[in-house]
């Protein structure tokens, strides 16, 4: 069934006049009549009742008219979707993110995308950075919000968030009453530490801080996820050094204090495959980089 024939047929059904329908279709009446004849031959039944004074659909024509409207709508929509997809304004993008990024960064990005790219469907996958990089290389992810870790895959990176690390302290701990924390204050204090495997980025950063400062805390647990670390701090198990965005978790019996060094920061990078061909990924990537430009320069966003 030819779409042009259907458009001619719909025009006749709505105008109830071959001459007016032909004008509407920017053609003369004989070619329009020929298209209706071809459509009737294709369907195998008469679709229009013609007299010298009027034109009206047959019962079969009325049924086809209703279906033709839906067919033409879907055809127009399909063409529009194809154009939007080619431009990156429609499509599906699978985005990986760390649990900490989910506290504030992911809601912020979803809001931005809903406003700027309403035709793009985002699928979220929470996993640690090491797993994200593997999934990105395996094409299971289109974009990844990761900590800066090494990968053998052919990836590009752009820093989108940079935030300070802070000391999380149980509310009833003596250090909670201090406004400023010195490195000596954490000497031999119980510390809930990130796991070397699941929290490698933070683990290595905190160990380097202590090594450079000559501090020897007492590690009581090694945990992979920030929310579990914060729960243990609230329970009084020990102190913890966490990204500032951990405050979004709203643990009531935990306070945060700045570290004795201001240069200890946590970063989140947007990563993607260099050979990626998804236009929607490119558009979303550009939106994220532009929207978070100021936060990468130092503002807190929730990474």
The stretches in the chain having pLDDT less than 50 are 297-303
- Cα 245 to its chain centre, rounded Å, is 19
Q: Judging by DSSP bridges, how do beta strands 254-258 and 155-170 pair with one another?
A: antiparallel
The C-alpha atoms of residue 109 and residue 105 are separated, in whole angstroms, by 6
The C-alpha atoms of residue 299 and residue 154 are separated, in whole angstroms, by 29
Tell me: do 200 and 249 sit in the same domain.
yes
Mean pLDDT over each residue of the chain, to the nearest integer: 90
Where do we find the tokens 């590009």? 156
Where do we find the tokens 């989108």? 160
Tell me: do 151 and 197 sit in the same domain.
no
3-state secondary structure at position 188:
coil
The C-alpha atoms of residue 262 and residue 183 are separated, in whole angstroms, by 12
pLDDT of residue 78: 86
Q: What is the DSSP letter of 101?
A: G
Q: Is 173 part of any domain?
A: yes
pLDDT of residue 149: 82
CATH number of the domain encompassing residue 123: 3.40.190.10
Tell me: do 248 and 169 sit in the same domain.
yes
> Which parts of the chain fold into alpha helices (H)?
3-15, 18-24, 29-43, 59-87, 105-116, 129-137, 200-213, 226-234, 279-291, 293-296
Q: Is 11 part of any domain?
A: yes
Q: Cα–Cα–Cα angle for 289, 295, 299, nearest 5°?
A: 180
Q: What is the DSSP letter of 157?
A: E
Q: How many CA atoms lie within 13 A of 134 on its CB side?
A: 5
DSSP string over 237-262: S-BEEEEGGGGGG--TTEEEEE-S-S
Two tokens at 138?
Answer: 């395996």
> Each residue of 214-243: pLDDT tens digit?
989 999 999 999 999 999 999 999 999 999
pLDDT of residue 298: 43
Residue-level length of the chain? 303
Q: Is 227 part of any domain?
A: yes
Cβ–Cβ under 8 Å, residues 228 and 220: no
pLDDT of residue 83: 82
pLDDT of residue 302: 36
Tell me: do 15 and 53 sit in the same domain.
yes
pLDDT of residue 295: 61
Q: Judging by DSSP bridges, how do beta strands 190-194 and 218-223 pair with one another?
A: parallel
Tell me: do 184 and 246 sit in the same domain.
yes
The C-alpha atoms of residue 127 and residue 97 are separated, in whole angstroms, by 6
Two tokens at 252?
Answer: 């009531």
End position of a domain, from candidates 33, 64, 87 = 87
End position of a domain, from candidates 87, 110, 133 = 87
pLDDT of residue 294: 63
Tell me: do 67 and 104 sit in the same domain.
no
Q: Is 67 part of any domain?
A: yes
Please state the pTM of the whole predicted model. Answer: 0.69
CATH number of the domain encompassing residue 20: 1.10.10.10
The C-alpha atoms of residue 171 and residue 189 are separated, in whole angstroms, by 15
How crowded is residue 47: how many other Cβ atoms within 10 Å of its Cβ? Answer: 22
Q: Cα–Cα–Cα angle for 99, 101, 102, nearest 5°?
A: 65
Please state the domain count of the chain.
3
What domain range is 147 assigned to? 91-160+266-296
Residues 135-173 as b or e (16 or more Cβ within 10 Å = b)? bbbeeebbbbbbbeeebeeebeeebbbbbbbbbbbbeeb
Tell me: do 153 and 291 sit in the same domain.
yes
């Amino acid at each position: 069934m030819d779409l042009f024939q259907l458009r001619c047929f719909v025009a006749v059904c709505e105008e109830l006049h071959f001459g007016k329908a032909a004008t509407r279709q920017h053609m003369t009446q004989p070619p329009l009549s020929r298209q209706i004849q071809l459509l009737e031959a294709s369907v195998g039944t008469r679709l229009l009742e013609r007299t010298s004074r009027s034109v009206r659909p047959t019962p079969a024509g009325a049924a086809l008219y209703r279906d033709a409207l839906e067919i033409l709508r879907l055809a127009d929509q399909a063409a529009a979707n194809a154009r939007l997809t080619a431009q990156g304004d429609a499509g599906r993008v699978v985005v990986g993110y760390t649990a900490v990024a989910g506290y504030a960064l992911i809601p912020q990005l979803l809001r931005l995308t809903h406003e700027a790219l309403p035709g793009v469907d985002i699928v979220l996958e929470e996993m640690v950075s090491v797993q994200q990089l593997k999934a990105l290389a395996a094409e299971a992810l289109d974009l990844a919000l990761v900590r800066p870790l090494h990968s053998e895959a052919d990836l590009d990176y752009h820093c989108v968030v940079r935030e300070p690390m802070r000391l999380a302290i149980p509310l009833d701990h003596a250090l909670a009453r201090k406004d400023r924390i010195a490195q000596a204050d954490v000497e031999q204090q119980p510390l809930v530490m990130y796991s070397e495997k699941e929290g490698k980025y933070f683990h290595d950063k905190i160990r380097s801080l202590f090594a450079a400062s000559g501090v020897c805390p007492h590690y009581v647990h090694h945990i992979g996820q920030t929310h579990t670390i914060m729960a243990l701090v609230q329970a009084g198990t020990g102190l913890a050094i966490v990204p500032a965005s951990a405050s979004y978790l709203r643990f009531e019996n935990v306070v945060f204090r700045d570290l004795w060094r201001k240069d200890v920061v946590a970063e989140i990078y947007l990563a993607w495959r260099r050979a990626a061909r998804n236009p929607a990924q490119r558009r979303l990537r550009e939106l994220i980089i532009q929207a978070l430009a100021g936060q990468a320069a130092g503002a807190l966003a929730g990474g």
